[in-house]
Structure 1
Amino acid sequence: MDSTTFKIIAWNIHGGAGAQCKRRVRELVRTYKPSIFSVVETHCHFDRVSSFWHSLGYELIRESSAIGHYGGIWVLIPHVRDFEVHVVELYDQAVSVAIRHKGRSWVCSLIYTSPNLSKRLDLWAYLSRFRLRHSDPWLVLGDFNEIYTPLEVRTSLGKGWKMGIGLLPREAYVEVLARVYSDHTPIIVRCTVDSGDRATQPFRFQAAWATHPSFTQLVRDTWSKPPPSLTGKLKNIHDAATVFNKNVFGCINRWKKRVEHRLQGVQKELDYSSSESLCRFERALRKEYDDILFQEELLWYQKSRENWVQFGDRNTKFFHMQTIVRRKRNKIHGLL
C-alpha cells in the first residue's frame, strides 16, 4: 500500500462469491490498493470467500452478516498497513471504525440501509445519536437505498449511493468508478492523486496475445511467408508480434482504462436517455472489460513462471509475489 495515500472503496457488490465479482474485486485491489475496502449486500457469509480475500492480502475486521440475500457488510483492511484502525460501534445497518493515519484521526461509518422504510428511519435516528457520541471528523459512506430525484431510479449515481460529512484530510476527493459487475457503481475516497507511472518491462512473448481474435491468423499468415528456414520464420513471428503488441494489443493498462472510460461515458448517457443500441453497446463493453481482466491475469501468471494452471484464482497474490521475488533475485546489485 502507498504510504502517502489513504483510500477507501465502498461497493454494493450484489453477491460476493461469484467468479466475475472476484475478478472485478481483484482488479480494484490491484489498481487502487485501498486502505479500507467496504463490501455491502454480500448475499453470503464471509467464511465462504475468506481464502480469496486472504490471497489478495486483506483481512476482515468486522462483518454485519447477511440474512439470506438481504444485507451484509464486510469491512476489510490490508494485512500490511501503515495506519491504526479499530471498530468503535456495530449496528445492523452500519459498521463504524476509528482511523488514525499520518497523525490525523477520524471516524468512518460504512452503511448498507434496509429497503424497508421504517428500518431506514431507524438508521437515520441511530446516525443522529452516533454523532453526539463522537467528536472526531466523520465520513459516512455506503448504500442508503435513497433517491434524491426520480431520475436517480435509473442512473448510475442513483442506486442509493450517498456520502459525506466532515472528511479529513483536505486533499480527499470522491470518484465514481465504472459499473461493470454489479448494477451499483464502486466509489473510492482518496487523499492524493496516484501518478500511475510504471517502469517499462522488457519485451517477452505474452500468452494473453493468444486470446485476441486476430492473433492466431497473424501467426498463420506470418509463418507462411519466406524465408523457409525455421530461424527465419521465428524471426518473422518475433517482428510481427512486436508490431502487433504496439499497434493492436497495446499496453493492457491503457486499453483497460480506455474501455472503462468508454463504459462510464455510455452509462452517463443511459442515465438520461435509454435506447436499445446503447444498452447493447454497454453489454459489449462490459464483456470486453471482463476479457481484459482475464488477459491481465494471464500476464501475471506468465510472469510468475510457476505452474499456475492447477492453482486457480485463489493464488493471484502468490503469483504476483513470485514475480517480484524473481526480479529481485535476478537483479545485479554490484560487481567485484
Structure 2
Amino acid sequence: MKEFWERLGYYLVGIVDAVGHKGGIWFLSANLKFSCKILWAMNQCVTLEIDGGGRRWICSAVYGSPQATNRVELWSHLLDIGLCIQDPWVVVGDFNDILSVHEVKGEAFVEVLSCSHSDHCPLLIRCQGVPIKKGNRPFRFQAAWATHPDYKAIVQKSWDSTGFGIHRKFLGVQEASLEFNSTVFGNIFIKKRELEGYLNRIQRKMEADDDPILKHKEEELRAEYNIVLAQEELLWYQKSRDQ
C-alpha cells in the first residue's frame, strides 16, 4: 500500500492498522515541505504536529468505533489532548456519531470529495470561505449484483473496452455497474413487494382453479422470489459489516 500511495504522489505520515475489516487510519501528505510528527496514536485516532509555511498546528484524524461504548475512550483521549496543546487544532474524520450543529466553532468547512481509489470519500478542510455543497454519493459495490447471470459479462466487457490504467478501468466498471443497477438489476425491495403481490394473486386463483398453468407460474414466481430473498440477505449482510 505504501508504494501504491507514493505512485499517486502521497507519502505516509502515520498509520493505525485495521483489525480485520474494522477501523484503520492512514495519514498521508502530498506536501514534502511540511514537517509532520506523530504526537499520540490510539486505535481510533492518530494526532500529528504539522509545521510548515511559518505556522505550526495540530491535526487529529479520527475513525470512531460504531459501538458507543468504545467511543467513550475516544472522547476521553481527545479531551486529554485538548488540555495538553496550545497550538491551533483540527479534528477530522469519521466519528460515527452526530453532534448538534450549534456546537460547531470557527469558520472552517469540510467538503466531501468524490471517491476514486476507495469506497470512502476524501474530506477537504477549508479553513476560510463559505459552506461547500456536498459531493456526490460514494460508489458502493453491491455483492448481490454478482448473483445476476449477466453481471459478470458486463464487468468483463467494461474492463476490456476501457482505456489504459487501473484507475480508468475501475471507473469504467463503476459506471457500468451503476447503469446495470438502474436498468437491469433494479431495487431489491421493490422487486420483493411486486413478487409478493404476484404470488398472492396467483395463489388466490389456484384456490378456485386447479389449473396446471397457474401451478407452473407459481413455481416460477417462487424461484424468482427466493433469489430476491437471497439478494436481500446479501445486502443486509454487507450493510451490517459482519465478518
What TM-score do you get using the length of structure 1 for normalisation?
A: 0.36
Q: Which has the higher contact order (CA 8 A, sep 6+)?
A: 1
What TM-score do you get using the length of structure 2 for normalisation?
A: 0.48
